[in-house]
Chains A and B, each alone.
Chain A
Amino acid sequence: DIVMTQTPLSSPVTLGQPASISCRSSQSLVSSDGNTYLSWLHQRPGQPPRLLIYKVSNRFSGVPDRFSGSGAGTDFTLKISRVEAEDVGVYYCMQGTQFPWTFGQGTKVDIK
């Protein structure tokens, strides 16, 4: 199975300041079709997760442009350009390149 490792596991941030989360996979996420199936999801307390980013850098419908994804191969990053109060919660990376699909442990983002 592909192991997804996120850092940091906790990230206190200041409103209006940037934040960044890293995700590393135990093997390349480049699929045989040439695509890289790495997604980012956000889960607010008491809510189901919601999709933010798919295929490394594509924002899902309705996701603010302060969220951006980047990376390649085994190393990926989610960036929030200016953190807002509604951005608190846990962020997960997920790979869909190989079954079983696997998630990172989650990174908890809260406000300082």
Chain B
Amino acid sequence: QVHLVESGGGVVQPGGSLRLSCEASGFPFSSEVMHWVRQAPGKGLEWVARISHDAVYTQYADFAKGRLIISRDNSRTTVFLQMNSLRKEDTAIYYCVRDFGDSWSLDYWGQGILVTVSS
């Protein structure tokens, strides 16, 4: 079955950096588009970024452009989110999510990893 496991979260100071990883299993990873979605504590869902199956194309939310970078390593079935110049408002649970193909939706979600930006 589809399994997505995030890692790399933690506490970081404002202005700092962090790299999240998401290891995937149970499906042909190199054929699938992947996303990151975040959720601030007690708040709703916010789409962050998307990467094509071959890493050629990426899309970002406006707040992510220039600071957050999505990438992937198909040989390691892993998708990454490099987070730079972090702000307190980036504090959230970050979910790794698989794209649901031609349905332009999100079908399988990881358990999420907490990132806390605090001094």
Question: Contact residues of A with B, CB < 8 Å?
Answer: 1, 31, 35, 37, 39, 41, 43, 48-51, 54-55, 58, 60, 90, 92, 94, 96-97, 99-106
Number of chain B residues close to chain A: CB under 8 A: 20
Inter-chain contact A103/B59, CB cutoff 8 Å? no
Inter-chain contact A51/B45, CB cutoff 8 Å? no
17 interchain pairs, CB-CB under 8 A: A43-B45, A49-B45, A51-B100, A51-B106, A51-B107, A54-B103, A54-B105, A92-B44, A94-B105, A94-B106, A96-B104, A97-B104, A100-B59, A100-B60, A100-B61, A103-B45, A103-B47
- B86-119 vs A, Cβ < 8 Å mask (1 yes, 0 no): 0000000001000010011111011110000000
Inter-chain contact B103/A100, CB cutoff 8 Å? no
Within the assembled complex, what's the spacing in Å between the Cα atoms of A55 and B102? 10
Among the listed A31, A49, A101, which residue makes an inter-chain contact with B109, where contact means beta carbons less than 8 Å apart?
Answer: A49
- Complex: chain B residue closest to A97, CB-CB: B104
Q: How far is the CB of B111 from chain A (nearest CB, A)?
A: 6
Inter-chain contact B110/A48, CB cutoff 8 Å? yes
Q: How far is the CB of A37 from chain B (nearest CB, A)?
A: 4
Among the listed A1, A49, A55, A102, which residue makes an inter-chain contact with B103, where contact means beta carbons less than 8 Å apart?
Answer: A55
Q: Which residues of B lie under 8 Å from residue A104 when comparing CB positions?
A: 44
- Complex: chain A residue closest to B109, CB-CB: A48
Within the assembled complex, what's the spacing in Å between the Cα atoms of A101 and B45? 11
Q: Which residues of B lie under 8 Å from residue A55 when comparing CB positions?
A: 103, 105
- Complex: chain B residue closest to A43, CB-CB: B45
Q: How far is the CB of A104 from chain B (nearest CB, A)?
A: 8
Q: How far is the CB of B35 from chain A (nearest CB, A)?
A: 8
Inter-chain contact B105/A102, CB cutoff 8 Å? no
Q: Which residues of A lie under 8 Å from residue B112 when comparing CB positions?
A: 48
